[in-house]
Amino acid sequence: MCGIVAYLGSREAYPVLIKGLHRLEYRGYDSAGIALLNGSLSVYKKKGKVSELEKEVAENKNLHATIGVAHTRWATHGEPNTINAHPHKSNNSKLAVIHNGIIENYDVLKKALIERGYHFNSDTDTEVLINLIEDIQKNEEVSLEESVRIALNQVTGAYAIVIISEDHPDMLIAARKGSPMVIGIGDGEFFVASDATPIVEYTKSVIYLAEEDMVTMERGKAIRLKTIKNKEKTPYIEKLEMDLSELEKGGFDHFMLKEIYEQPRSIKDTMRGRLHADKGIVTLGGIADYEQKLLNARKIIIVACGTSWHAGLVGEYLLEDLARIPVEVEYASEFRYRNPIISEEDVVIAISQSGETADTLAAISLAKEKGATILGICNVVGSSIARATDAGSYTHAGPEIGVASTKAFTSQVTLLTLIALRLAQLKGTITKSKMVQLLNEMETIPEKVEKTLKSAALIKEIAKEFKDVRNFLYLGRGYNFPVALEGALKLKEISYIHAEGYPAAEMKHGPIALIDKNMPVVFIAPNKGIYDKVVSNIQEVKARNGKVIAIVTEGDETVKGMVDFVIEIPETEELFTPLLATIPLQKLAYHIAVMRGCHVDQPRNLAKSVTVE
């Protein structure tokens, strides 16, 4: 996490950097800072969001510079305050660095530097790195570029860094290991950022740095790329497919709301060119060469974190139900440390919106070591996970800016549905006529999502009723058990109300003790699967005076007669109900959070992309 952005060229750097920080704010927003170089290095830092930094800097009339670096922070070492904000300068004040990641051996390095007379102003690992570079430059009498390279060989951990130096007013040095970094190449100008969003309006030519890559950008010269082990590389310039309009709010109050309303389109984009209802087939170009591997897999292991893990759980139901292949779904963070039983006969599917989640990347490395085939389901094109996997399919949901994931989730579920249907077809676990029927139904899902989105007034009314409660319970069964987990996660992430998701039948093994007249319980109860059992669970809650909000299929009078609020979703096949039932849960969380005055797009303590353990 942390967002970094840097500029070198002929434009004014400050507006480019501030705009870039706003775009990257989803990555962390507890403090921000900027360094501009115009003769000398001017550093401005401020605790809080990027807008706080802007207010602080607004007083300063002398912001002229054509080279600079900027950072928005998500604290790892040292509390979120102005002193710990980046950029950090070295002791001689000539070097400054912005850093995303963690230097794990900072303590040892710091002690050694203190012994050599260095002092530290902040509690950060980053300040250690910049002083290490200064120390090497002084003692080894090598170029700045070489000092950076030597220093990076001494640190362990993760980093994406940009270095700026008073003695080199026309140069930026950047490097990455474990944290993402993109370089934009314009006409006589260079951009550096954690992702392409700060770059897209200036240039579409980008270089995605690989692990341990290091670049030197100099005014009027071609970019130099090498590894930190000093191996020269030829830069591979790619064309960005992102569009600027995708990064703006388009009339919505928040990115999250915009992204919720984008779902009819994003789901369609996930299906585009893959679902052929007319021919009764699904094609998935990205994993076509691995279909046999999947069909013969001893088991499929899905690894992911957060919302992507919930999508993985829906995937388990889909793959086992339709294709009859055993599936395990693992938190990437647990999988990586628990000596899992895994071999060449297994296929691992890593799911990640950002494609940068550190634990998911580590799980992939472990599975690779054990010889498994690794496939990826990512949203961000060219991301680290997309590149670390053997093959994969993109969700094509478009950039997701709101920290709480919405459209990425429904696109992940859509893609997993397509994969399960494709494998079922190849394996013959589904009849041709059933396949045609399901694909025809799947084609109508975007319209049905559109229809589901229309229940705004009712959801606002429900939000008003429950916005001040302290706890919420979400219950569902089968395909909609993961939806209950996701609904609860959305609410806690953005409204800070404690919420738990449970399989409805498990309620009586614990959570039922919580139920009284103050406890709202959300049931996901479409008229499919073991609907009757869910109805019994609803009765159990009502018998204890709990308040029930039920998501039901249109026209369901049984549940309507029992509960306090009913939200209808259109009739569909059971396997598609997660795609519809998720929508009102996202909206409920959104409206409650807005009514409670919470910062919906940037909830406290969270970050969109967790690139540290």
* Residues that bind ligand G6P in the complex, under the rule CB under 6 A: 305-308, 352-354, 357, 360, 403-405, 606, 608-610
In the complex, what is the shortest distance from the CB of residue 268 to ligand G6P, in angstroms, rounded to a whole number?
Answer: 21
Task: Work out how close the CB of 355 gets to ligand G6P at its nearest, in angstroms, rounded to a whole number.
Answer: 7
User: Which sign does the torsion angle of CA 510, 512, 517, 523 carry?
Assistant: positive
31 or 383: whose CB is closer to ligand G6P?
383
Task: Give the residue among 400, 48, 494, 415 at the shortest CA–CA distance from 195.
Answer: 400
Nearest distance in Å: CB 358, ligand G6P = 9
CB of 605 to ligand G6P, least distance (A): 10
C-alpha distances out from residue 12 to 68, 205, 531, Å = 9, 20, 62
Query: Crossing angle of helices 144-154/126-140, nearest 10°?
Result: 130
DSSP secondary structure letter of residue 277: T
Nearer to ligand G6P, 529 or 578 (CB): 578
Q: How far apart are the first and last CA of the chain?
A: 10
Nearer to ligand G6P, 191 or 409 (CB): 409
Other CB atoms within 10 A of residue 486 CB: 33
Is residue 598 part of the annotated active site? The answer reads no
Look up tokens 């501009």; give the residue.
36
Min CB(247)–ligand G6P separation in Å: 17
Minimum Å gap between C-beta 609 and ligand G6P is: 6
3-state SS of 155-167? CCEEEEEEEEECC
Q: Which is nearer to ligand G6P, 223 or 606 (CB)?
A: 606
Q: Determine whether 378 is an active site residue.
A: no
- Give the residue nearest to ligand G6P (CB): 306
Is the Cβ of residue 129 or residue 415 nearer to ligand G6P in the bound state?
415
Helix (H) or strand (E) holding 529: none
**Distance between CA atoms of residues 184 and 16, nearest Å:** 13
**C-alpha closest to that of 272 among 451, 376, 418, 424:** 418
| 2, 305, 378, 598: the active-site residue | 2
Task: Compute the chain's Rg from CA coordinates.
Answer: 25
Q: Which is nearer to ligand G6P, 246 or 450 (CB)?
A: 246
- Exposed, middle or buried by CB within 10 Å (0-12, 13-18, 19+), for 450? middle
Lateral strand order in the sheet of 3-8: 40-47, 31-38, 67-73, 3-8, 190-193, 182-185, 205-208, 238-239
Q: In this complex, which beta carbon is closest to ligand G6P, that of residue 357 or of residue 425?
A: 357
Question: With DSSP H G I counted as helix, E B as strand and the rest as coil, what are the percentages for the chain, rounded to 5?
Answer: 40, 25, 35
Give least dist CB 497 to ligand G6P, A. Answer: 17
Listed in sequence order, the residues at least 6 apart from 561 whose beta carbon sits closer than 8 Å to its beta carbon are none
Q: Closest distance between ligand G6P and the C-beta of residue 363, in Å?
A: 11
Retrieve residue 132's tokens. 């290490």
Residue 540 in 3-state DSSP? helix
Q: Please, which residue, 379 or 452, has the CB nearer to ligand G6P?
A: 379
**Catalytically active residues, by annotation:** 2, 608
